[in-house]
Structure 1
Amino acid sequence: MHNHPNVIAVRDALTAAGAAAAEIVILDEAVHTAALAAAALNIEVGQIANSLIFDADGEPLLVLTSGAHRVDTAKVAAELRIGKLRRATPEFVRQHTGQAIGGVAPVGHPKPVRTLVDVELERFPVVWAAGGVPQSLFATTYAELVRVTAGTPAEVA
């Protein structure tokens, strides 16, 4: 799995962005939810930065939210002045990220994706995000996550 094209793309993107650590951890089994990822890492579910892709008037919007939160789509749509914000289909996610739901990383996409980063993640000294496939994760900080994604801090819940 360390040589999977998505994992390599994520590692390369982290390295290119000057991330402090571009080490991607490969787990024995896929972790398709924040709860499963947190259990596998023995951390709080809130430390997981869920990468959720939404269809925002036909354009992708990546919301990196704490695993302890649910995105308030009406709030996000109103704040961004988006007419229609809905959960993206698996095909839409793959088209815009090159990755499958359950393993979508915050970086390593074919083109930059507009990104919001949940301010709740800032309370954790270390957060974990998917590394391009459902078995992969990497550790980072909130500040670095905002920087490497060119994301906008936001209250998303």
Structure 2
Amino acid sequence: MCNIGTQCNRENVSLGPPSRGQIANTESVIRVVYDPLHLNPKKTRIKAGVIRESDLLTGQLSVWRTSPTDPENLAETKSYLTATKPEGQEIRHFVSIWVGEIRRMTGLDGQRLFCVRDDTRIDEIGGRHAEHATISFCALKGEPYKDSTSNEFIFARDLLHAALLNAISDGDV
């Protein structure tokens, strides 16, 4: 059950080594903002597309585990993301947000919206990146959250988008 203050069933799974295991509310995750992909043409505003609908619908919205209090881990993660950025894109922001903040978000029904779960990424040459995680809708969210045009989906996406914008105004990592 995905209730506020409890882990979603999806979050109780760890992918094993080299993963650090289940993600705690006290951890933070990074979402990368690319230029021009995530910026409006005047480069003055981050588009809602920073939360890609297809990724959110499939539970594959990529984020990267990190700790602002662990400079070495943060530097390694930023270095990896910089080296693997999509062709033609520049990194504009590394946006850090607390996992607990994401898990406390509630939908129009008053229920918890999102899971943040371990998703150790395997790269194209078979290497694993222990810091990869995903944001997805909680397992019990129904049909309205499977339709990107529904009020419920749009509300949830916009709530997550606003949290990222707020995190940017608080300062990038």
TM-score, normalised via structure 1 length: 0.31
Q: Which has the larger radius of gyration?
A: 2
